């Protein structure tokens, strides 16, 4: 059975008028479930603009879809992007609402997309990572009567970047008073500086108009995390990145090989786009848990990579982009009734038990907080299961669930829970 959604041409257009329409208006989108036996095919046919590939990939990955294969091809000012996608269970897309949303969103990717956090104040933080830092940040915000509504935190090579969206606890409104904003920025900067990060700690209030994860990439890149001494990430396979020039055709060929995961293509394309490279052709192939991505790129002025130093920088930046989202440690999911100081209390418990948060995502819907943390011990190693149990006892067994632990871990029978092993794709924060 084929499920196909196709953008219709306006009535009464001849072939030339259709051509003009395609150049100057929305892309043509086809979603097909019949061609491939194990994936849904999404095709986007449009005139080529810088950033349009990233916008298309962003639409798909924001739905937590896995891109199993992709073919990107440009001819002059035309671009054809073909994606083989599955849902988080590895199956074809069958939900009409999801298919309709994809068709509508991809059909409008010529228009600038922004991140809508109306009614919230966005805080951007970068600095040197350390055990307990997130606990201190959340404690400061709680003390200053800031309610954390959404947040994402990444760590990489000893650095931390975070986007935190807050509102006033008392009024429920965005924080606009300049004196209050100055107090928040000053206190957070002091926390980030600690005793050894006087120069590079940064705290700013932003307009939050950029896609959150793209902004995190930009923040860590601006912090030059890719140049810092690599931190050994237990259980994380480093990406292999090569760059060579195809002089006859004027392209630079970038090849990335690494462990496959959701949003991998987004991270790589985001980095190339923000470095102002244009992707003319690309192929993405995945097999088992491995991914191979190849890109034919040029600068925006049409020239390939011109120096060894530039080549080395591209390699470092792409490796960093792949590693920043690496899922390391035990995944803990907190689902509880939201209240002031909830995050400060939970992360203080983590700190007091020697747990380091390597990545987290905070979200709030109505009065319920759903928060995901990846934690290791203070040295980046696997956490002793007994410590996890102690933390759960303090936070609440029913509130804090374990999604990833070493296979030796077994839920104790008296708790009435199921044995937990290492989660697959469905158990990962993407």
**DSSP alpha helix (H) spans, 284-378:** 308-324, 342-352
Q: Are residues 48 and 129 in the same domain?
A: no
In a domain, 321, yes or no: no
- Among 307, 339, 365, the domain boundary falls at 307
Residue 33 Cα distances to 65, 87, 234, angstroms: 15, 13, 39
Q: Are residues 129 and 213 in the same domain?
A: yes
Q: Are residues 109 and 241 in the same domain?
A: yes
**Per-residue pLDDT band at 327 (split at 50, 70, 90):** low
Report the domain count for the chain.
3
Q: Are residues 105 and 252 in the same domain?
A: yes
Q: Could you report the per-residue pLDDT of 400-428, keeping only the tens digit for each? A: 999 865 443 344 444 444 333 323 333 33
Residues ≥6 apart with Cβ < 8 Å to 252: 243, 244, 245, 246, 277, 296, 297, 298, 304, 305, 311
Q: Are residues 87 and 119 in the same domain?
A: no
pLDDT on residue 4: 42
Cβ of 9: how many Cβ atoms within 10 Å?
12
Strands of the sheet containing 277-287, edge to edge, are 5-6, 28-32, 40-47, 78-86, 66-75, 277-287, 290-299, 251-259, 240-246
Q: Are residues 363 and 390 in the same domain?
A: yes
pTM of the model: 0.85
In a domain, 317, yes or no: no
- Among 211, 228, 245, the domain boundary falls at 228
pLDDT on residue 114: 55
Nearest to 110 by CA among 21, 173, 181, 192: 21
**Per-residue pLDDT band at 6 (split at 50, 70, 90):** very low
Burial class (CB in 10 A: 0-12, 13-18, 19+), 247: exposed
Helices (H) and strands (E) in the chain, counts: 10, 17
In a domain, 142, yes or no: yes
**Per-residue pLDDT band at 264 (split at 50, 70, 90):** very high
Look up residue 399 and give its two tokens: 């509130």
- How far apart CA 334 and CA 392 sit, in angstroms, is 10
Domain of 211, in residue numbers? 115-228
User: Among the listed ranges 79-88, 100-109, 148-157, which one has the minimum average pLDDT value?
Assistant: 100-109
Q: Are residues 331 and 416 in the same domain?
A: yes
Q: Are residues 68 and 94 in the same domain?
A: yes
Integer distance in angstroms from the first to the last C-alpha of the chain?
31
pLDDT on residue 403: 83
Kindly provide the residue ranges of all beta strands, DSSP E only, lying in 108-201, ordered along the sequence. 121-128, 146-156, 159-168
**Per-residue pLDDT band at 210 (split at 50, 70, 90):** confident
- Name the residue with higher pLDDT: 22 or 101: 101
Residue 248 Cα distances to 95, 104, 304, 342, angstroms: 46, 39, 11, 60
In a domain, 46, yes or no: yes
- Among 307, 334, 356, the domain boundary falls at 307
In a domain, 280, yes or no: yes
pLDDT for 168 beyond 70: yes
In a domain, 23, yes or no: yes
pLDDT for 293 beyond 80: yes
Phi, psi of 86 (to 5 degrees): -135, 165
Q: Are residues 274 and 359 in the same domain?
A: no
What CATH number should be reported for the domain holding residue 363? 3.30.70.260
């Amino acid at each position: 059975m084929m499920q196909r959604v196709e953008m219709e041409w306006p009535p009464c257009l001849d072939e030339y008028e259709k051509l003009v329409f395609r150049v100057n208006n929305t892309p043509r989108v086809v979603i097909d479930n019949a061609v491939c036996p194990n994936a849904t095919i999404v095709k986007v046919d449009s005139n080529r603009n810088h950033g349009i590939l990233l916008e298309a990939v962003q639409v798909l990955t924001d739905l937590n879809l896995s891109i199993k294969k992709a073919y990107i091809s440009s001819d002059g000012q035309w671009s054809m992007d073909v994606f083989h996608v599955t849902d988080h269970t590895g199956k074809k897309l069958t939900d009409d609402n999801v298919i309709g949303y994809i068709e509508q969103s991809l059909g409008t990717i010529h228009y600038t997309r922004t991140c809508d956090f109306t009614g919230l104040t966005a805080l951007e933080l970068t600095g040197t990572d350390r055990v307990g830092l997130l606990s201190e940040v959340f404690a400061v915000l709680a003390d200053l009567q800031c309610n954390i509504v959404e947040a994402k935190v990444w760590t990489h090579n000893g650095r931390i970047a975070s986007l935190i969206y807050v509102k006033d606890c008392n009024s429920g409104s965005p924080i606009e008073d300049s004196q209050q904003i100055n107090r928040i920025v000053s206190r957070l900067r002091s926390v980030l500086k600690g005793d050894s990060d006087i120069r590079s700690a940064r705290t700013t209030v932003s307009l939050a108009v950029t896609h959150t994860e793209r902004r995190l990439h930009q923040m860590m890149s601006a912090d030059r995390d890719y140049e810092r001494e690599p931190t050994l990430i237990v259980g994380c396979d480093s990406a292999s990145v090569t760059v060579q020039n195809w002089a006859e055709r004027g392209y630079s060929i970038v090849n990335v090989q690494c462990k496959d995961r959701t949003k991998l293509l987004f991270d790589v394309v985001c980095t190339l786009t923000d470095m102002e490279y244009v992707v003319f052709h690309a192929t993405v192939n995945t097999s088992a848990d491995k991914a191979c991505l190849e890109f034919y790129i040029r600068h925006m002025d049409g020239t390939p990579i011109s120096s060894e130093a530039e080549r080395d920088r591209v390699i470092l930046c792409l490796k960093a982009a792949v590693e920043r989202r690496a899922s390391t440690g035990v995944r803990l999911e907190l689902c509880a009734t939201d209240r002031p100081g909830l995050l400060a209390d939970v992360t203080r418990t983590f700190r007091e038990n020697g747990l380091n948060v390597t990545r987290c995502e905070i979200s709030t819907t109505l009065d319920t907080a759903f928060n995901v943390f990846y934690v290791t011990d203070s040295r980046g190693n696997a956490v002793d299961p007994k410590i996890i149990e102690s933390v759960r006892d303090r936070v609440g067994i029913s509130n804090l669930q374990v999604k990833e632990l070493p296979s030796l871990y077994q839920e104790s029978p008296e708790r009435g829970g199921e044995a937990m092993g290492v989660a697959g794709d469905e158990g990962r924060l993407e």
